[in-house]
Chains A and B, each alone.
Chain A
Amino acid sequence: MKRKSKGQIFVVGVVLLVVILALFRESFFVNPPSTMTSDDLLDNIEKEFRYTAGISHKAQADRLSNLSSFFRSNVDGFEGLYMIVFTEAAEYTVHTGNFLRAKIDGEIDVSGSSPSSETISVADGSVQIENFDATGNVTLELTYTAGGPDISEEFNFDTDGHTTVFYDIAIKENDKVMRRKGTVLIV
């Protein structure tokens, strides 16, 4: 007499699913396994960015630009944007370095300064320098687009002779972007 199958079909189904999932496991994940080390790499890059910012005086203003170029030629998917503010007596200079792999267009708005805003247009791999007059605490807002939606960044500094660096660095890997932003006050 032929035995009727009962719940065995479920067990067979589970075994088949295990085999299928095991075979295609890695392709189910959006992020490749190497992401973890890219995150460490970005930590390393950020640390060196901050280190170089710390030794970037007005006479060596091109150091961050040079370092950005160095990382761009050595690290796949690296991109960055930075602003260095050198203050001196009642005036300050803002260097905007663009390494975002696209031209940026935007505006710098600064509180209590003259002029109160400047339009910027920085080609990829270039630096634009703008001069302002002000005393005391200044809030700087950069609004820009690199072809996509508007992006806004803001930070404060004092016109007390110190240097302030803002940076936004990233590594793009497939569809994932790892990013670090920060400011460094050099005293």
Chain B
Amino acid sequence: MITSNQVASNSAKFGKKGITYTIEAIIAIGLLAAIVLFLFQSPPETSLDLEKQNAYFALSALDADGALREAVFNGSTAAVKAELDKYFQNYDFELCSDVCFGTTVQAQIVEYYMSGWKESYNPKKLRVFLFRP
């Protein structure tokens, strides 16, 4: 025979279990939602992309100053290097009008285009090779 005390005890026991299951389920769903949100909030960005973007910003800034463009269209490799030295370390570069020969060394390559200087038109490509330290 089941007494009223036993019924009350079992009811409290099962009620407590139910709450535990619910809390576990909520935690699991919360974890899952947090992970999905974290993974899909933006496309993955690699350090190489950031490195290339920073290099673009640097070349844009040097171009805005005017000295880099002047050096490129004067054909002065030393002057171009002096400008690039302001922002880059452990790098190499080449200037080409059409065909670029590049380098055989493994490097991140950032290309920057310049179409002319003052009234002259003569498009050139400045390729900067960024080496890993």
B111 within 8 A of A: yes
Pick the interface stretch among B2-10, B40-48, B73-81, B85-93. Answer: B40-48
Query: A13 to B43, alpha carbons, bound, how many Å?
Result: 24
Residue tally, chain A, CB below 8 Å to B? 39
Given contacts A6-B24, A35-B43, A48-B114, contact A18 B35 (CB under 8 A): yes
Q: Is A21 in contact with B39, judged by CB distance below 8 angstroms?
A: yes
Report yes or no: A36 in contact with B116, Cβ–Cβ below 8 A.
no
Expressed in whole angstroms, the Cα–Cα distance for A101 and B20 within the complex equals: 64
Say yes or no for A149: interface residue by CB 8 A criterion. Answer: no
Least distance between A14 CB and chain B CB atoms (Å):
5
Q: Which of A28, A31, A40, A74 contacts B53 (CB 8 A)?
A: A40
Most chain B beta-carbon neighbours within 10 Å: one of A7, A35, A67: A7
A33-B60 in contact (CB<8A): no
Secondary structure of the A contact surface, majority rule? helix
A22 to B40, CA, bound (A): 11
Tell yes or no: A37 within 8 A of B by CB: yes
The answer to whether A13 touches B28 (Cβ under 8 A) is yes
A37 and B123 form a contact (CB under 8 A): no
Q: Mark A1-42, 1 if CB is under 8 A from B, else 0.
A: 000001110110110011001100110110101111100110
Chain A residues close to B by CB (< 8 Å): 6-8, 10-11, 13-14, 17-18, 21-22, 25-26, 28-29, 31, 33-37, 40-41, 43-45, 48-49, 51-52, 55, 60, 63, 66-67, 70-71, 73-74
Jot down 5 A-B pairs with beta carbons below 8 A, ordered by A. Answer: A33-B43, A44-B56, A48-B113, A63-B121, A70-B123
